Structure 1
Amino acid sequence: MTLYRSTRILLASAALCALASPALALDGQDLLNKINASFATGGTALSADSVEVDGSDVILKGLKLSVEGAPNESPLTLEQITLQGVSEEEGGAYFIERVDFPEVNVTEENSVFTVQDLYLAGVYVPGDANAEGIDSMMFYEEAHSGMVEVSVDGKSVFSMDKAVGTMGLSDDESTITFEGSVTGLKADLSTVEDQSSKETIEALGLTMLNGDMNMSGSWEIESGTINIEDYSIDFANVGKLSLAFGMSGYTLELVKQMQEQARMMQAQPDNEQAQQAAGLMMLGLIQQLSLIDAEIRFEDDGITQRGLDYAGKSQGTDGAQMAQMIKGMVPLMLAQAKLGALQNEVSAAINAYLDNPQSLTIAAAPASPVAFPMIMGAAMGAPETIPGLIGLKVTAND
């Protein structure tokens, strides 16, 4: 399978072959069919009024995207999409250099939604969506969105400067890496009409939010080991919430089985028995997963003290007294949770954080991967064993 075309020797060879033999016209309809076959696993379908080929470009006119299980929803319609730099690969696969999407500009009553500079680059379309392993997967090297804005009555209430997602494949085709970022997130909450909510937002300093999001990780396809190194959202004057975790058992076969169950649920949305059966099947599939490690971390940037001050004021006191009240309540609440020896560690961490809000971290690092059924069983039958089972630790200001 060829996902990247960065080797000059291969490109030169391809050019020589093209010059030395009669040019073969692209089969645009075959390309559309194979894109559809890849999309089908997610319950979506593409259709086009016409498919035209212009050199190495494939032009889809009157493109419609519909979702299985939503017969009453009108399909998304695009007047024209051009798939640029299309080439046929080994095994009937296709490689598309770039797909540009038209600007989105939707007006509904007093609201306007706009999206600019949408495109995909380096798209690999498999020749057979039912093939074994990675050859059945559809990839892209880059997904990009420019400015996104939502305005109400002419005032911007949400915007985003840019979102970029990239994927990579190791030389031995055993691991997929991925990264994503969203920059320039802005949300104006001053337009909230409910007076009580408005007062809370103002007291907490959340009237205008500014932040970014980031994600990075990898997936070892054969072993099904997925590692999310960083999944974080960071808002100025609020704080940064980060998530990281690793799990095994997330194989390609499991992904396909979960997609099939999701399709069954979409196909019969009003059949309660079918929904319950599919839900149980999905739960059974998830039990194939095991936890390797996990971490949730919050780094404060002012929201904690404002929250204490606001809560204290509502109780007729101040933030310092509210912090002391919470310290007194925590042991009682933890006793009900039956956390065993971890209870003291959690209390100490919360006390330290309330005295000097910097960071609070919850981490799980079991000695060896723990199957999710074991964790769920412990949660229902013996919750006090969970800290030891998954190596749970809670720390503050580290």
Structure 2
Amino acid sequence: MKHTCKIRLMMASAALLTLTGPAFALDGADMMKKLNAAMSANGSSLLFDKADADGDVVTVTGVKLQVSGKGGEKIDIGEVTFEGVEESDGGGYYAETVSFPDVNVSQDGTSLSAKDISIGGLSIPGNPAGATINDLLLYETAGTGPISVNVKGKDVFTAESTEANLTRQENDAGFDFDATLAGLKADLSDVEDAKAKEAIEKLGLTKLDGEVTMNGSWELESGNLALEKYALDFKNVGRLNIAMDFSGYTLQFMKSLQEATKAIEANPNKAEANQAFQLSMLGLMQQLTFNSASIRFDDASITKKALDYAGSQQGVTGDQLAQSLKALVPIMMAQLNVPELQNQVSAAINTYLDGPKSLTITAQPEKPVPFPMIMGAAMGAPNTIPSVLGVKVTAND
């Protein structure tokens, strides 16, 4: 009797597992289908051979990426592994990590390699056509290990690592983002053009060593996109930082831009497609508002080298060229008919050339300026743009 009960219990358990198993099994093919749908919003598409699920791991083989604008050309990626995969609300998927094979491609004596490529916290939407934050293809972290570009057996560009982070703000109000390209090195010693090679050597640019960093935020409701820092910083050259802030870049704006981009790619008549795209962009630009922008350069010895080199080409010293520039700038600025800006630029250039430290151009209007107003000023009275945008030029501050 006990033996019969045990058999019945085992059979019931097996039947229960059989019935419930498929409900909890991951569908790798469905995940890739939805990933492809999300990527197609930007004009790219994915192809693959198989997507095998084993527990919470999905291994996808034969992955190929077709990038927008490549004319049908496909990039072989190979095997991609998604780990910690689970279904999310709305029919989407979430993967804790996505690992890619190392890249090592060569063509015509040039090779590119990239190692340790990965994505963390990948969210794949169930409905990429939706209009909420959960309908976006998102990641939490992304990065690589060493990257190198080799030409004829010599590394001309290397980077120690790349890293990008995307963090949701409280109540899903938007995102904070940052990225770093660290340990960047470039070797320009083998430039073939004689004149360019001479300039590179005189300016001390044969070997470049630096990094690129950026950070900012995006608020979804207002569409406020603030790029607080986009900095290129190189030793013995200087640091160039660009910042900008504008509003109106909402989810709907982004999707309209994606649709316009897809339309131009799909239209075989490129002249007609370009015209339609320009009209679409003109309409979309009406929705944007300019808040502020700035460009700042902090010198690290490149200015004096540039003056000395440019002066040598004209048979004068760097100091003599600097004095000539001081006299020439007001004459050039006078042609723009912007007296206030002319005085600012002249004063800033004089200060900078006397002792190069920093040069900054800012645009900070008293109130945000709609893009249509800027375009109107550009077409009707270009000399009013500096006052409309609140442009200022300063040096060594």
TM-score, length basis structure 2: 0.92
1:225 and 2:228 are equivalent in the alignment: no
1:118 match: 117
1:140 match: secondary structure:
coil
1:4 match: none
Correspondences of 1:194-209 after superposition (within 5 Å): 194-209=193-208
Which region of structure 1 is more displaced relative to structure 2, 246-255 or 277-286?
Answer: 277-286
Correspondences of 1:82-231 after superposition (within 5 Å): 82-231=81-230
2: CA distance, partners of 1:228 / 1:275: 28
CA contact (8 A) 1:243 1:297 kept: yes
Q: Percent identity?
A: 47
1:66 and 2:86 are equivalent in the alignment: no
Deviation at residue 101 of structure 1 after TM alignment: 0.6
2:368 match: 369
Correspondences of 1:1-398 after superposition (within 5 Å): 24-68=24-68, 70-73=70-73, 75-268=74-267, 270-398=269-397
Deviation at residue 175 of structure 1 after TM alignment: 1.7
1:157/1:254 CA distance change after superposition, 3 Å = same
CA contact (8 A) 1:69 1:268 kept: no
2:171 match: secondary structure:
coil
1:21/1:59 CA distance change after superposition, 3 Å = closer
CA contact (8 A) 2:356 2:396 kept: yes
2: CA distance, partners of 1:251 / 1:130: 14
Matched residue type, 1:235: F
Deviation at residue 67 of structure 1 after TM alignment: 3.2
1: CA distance, partners of 2:103 / 2:288: 39
User: RMSD across aligned C-alpha pairs, in angstroms?
Assistant: 1.6
Deviation at residue 376 of structure 1 after TM alignment: 2.1
Deviation at residue 342 of structure 1 after TM alignment: 1.4
What's the CA shift string for 1:160-203, capped at 9, x where partnerless?
A: 11110000002200121101011111110001011111001111
CA contact (8 A) 1:69 1:269 kept: no
1:360 match: secondary structure:
strand
1: CA distance, partners of 2:194 / 2:242: 33
Which region of structure 1 is more displaced relative to structure 2, 282-291 or 315-324?
Answer: 282-291
Deviation at residue 287 of structure 1 after TM alignment: 2.6
Structure 1: 5+ residue stretches without partners: 1-19
Q: How many residues align?
A: 378
Which region of structure 1 is more displaced relative to structure 2, 23-32 or 191-200?
Answer: 23-32
What's the CA shift string for 1:350-392, capped at 9, x where partnerless?
A: 1100111000000111111101121122123222322221111
1:328/1:269 CA distance change after superposition, 3 Å = farther
What's the CA shift string for 1:31-90, capped at 9, x where partnerless?
A: 1111111111111111211121111011111112223554442x1123311111100111
2: CA distance, partners of 1:72 / 1:252: 28
2: CA distance, partners of 1:72 / 1:29: 23
TM-score, length basis structure 1: 0.92
Which region of structure 1 is more displaced relative to structure 2, 91-100 or 384-393?
Answer: 384-393
CA contact (8 A) 2:131 2:251 kept: no
Matched residue type, 2:258: Q
**CA radius of gyration, larger in:** 2
1:382/1:22 CA distance change after superposition, 3 Å = closer
2: CA distance, partners of 1:315 / 1:92: 68
What's the CA shift string for 1:277-298, capped at 9, x where partnerless?
A: 1122123212311111111100
CA contact (8 A) 1:340 1:384 kept: no
Matched residue type, 1:309: D
2:236 match: secondary structure:
coil
CA contact (8 A) 1:169 1:176 kept: yes
1: CA distance, partners of 2:69 / 2:326: 50
CA contact (8 A) 2:66 2:72 kept: no
1: CA distance, partners of 2:95 / 2:199: 50
Matched residue type, 2:180: S
Which region of structure 1 is more displaced relative to structure 2, 278-287 or 299-308?
Answer: 278-287
